[in-house]
Amino acid sequence: MFQLFREIFKPAIAYLSDRDFREYIKVKTHCRGKQKGTAIEMNIAGFEISGNDAASFLYQYEEIFVNRSVETDFQKNDPLIYCCGANIGLEIFFFKKQYPECKIRAFEADPKIAQILCDNISRNNIRNVEAISAAIWKENGSISFQADGALGGKTGSGNISVPTIRLSDELKKESKIDLLIMDIEGAEMEVLSDCKEQLSKVEKLLVEWHGSANDNQNLSEFLLVLKETGFRYRLHNKLPKAPFSNGIIENGFDAMVEIYASRQ
């Protein structure tokens, strides 16, 4: 009987005793049920952070702060982190809470979201963070971009043009990158292949791989590049409910896999 009551009142006990859980409930309450495109501003982990879409704000918060999807034991105070597809910067603030001296280079393709990212960094007087409004790609220049105002903006289609930065060139400038994060909505295969000669500098790699419903899947080729460049990897599959019945996950992709890779 005691165990039954403990399970019933478990959320209440967590709310009273766990500050992180109270913050999560606050974020959930503020974000749930809002219309797409509803702007939001909240204090997260001691930082004042704005977002342009409440639903995607909540999704990112749950992934980063609740599920701790980017948590890494760097074993140093000042790791160098590359965030490609940084959105509004929640992962930046997660790292800055854990490692105040870390150095971060953040890239965001959507110009409007990139401005929010820059404002969030400036508002909180964050040191050693460089935010760049550009799409990560295999060459420098520009590319068409389809913005969706949330998490699914992607290059290669759309009615606006955004600047591109060749990631390989940026990695050449570094002696070591402690963590490289890529969430670039389908461009990851071409970018990773172009970076192959520089991947020896990367200690850990987190990639959200996307499989387009209209193209051949290239996950095996992607994993082969990781194997050939000295990484071991673990996969976390992102599936909808009833996967056989729900073919498209979102934004034209029928498969998404989070790949956590570490140097052997």
pLDDT of the residue at 4: 47
Global pTM reads 0.90
Tell me the pLDDT tens digit for each residue of 127-184.
999 999 999 999 999 999 988 777 667 787 888 999 999 999 999 999 999 999 999 9
- Say how many domains are in the chain: 1
- The answer to the question of residue 6 being in a domain is no
**pLDDT given at position 6:** 52
What CATH number is associated with residue 92?
Answer: 3.40.50.150
**183 lies in a domain?**
yes
Q: Is residue 25 part of a domain?
A: no
In a domain, 165, yes or no: yes
Query: Does a structural domain hold residue 42?
Result: no
Report if residue 21 sits inside a domain: no
What domain range is 242 assigned to?
Answer: 69-263
Residue 216 lies in a domain: yes
* HSE of 106, CA atoms in CB hemisphere, 13 A: 28
Q: Give the angle 48-38-96 at the CA atoms, nearest 5°.
A: 25
pLDDT at 9: 47
pLDDT tens sequence across 204-246:
999 999 988 888 889 999 999 999 999 999 999 877 778 777 7
User: Does a structural domain hold residue 13?
Assistant: no
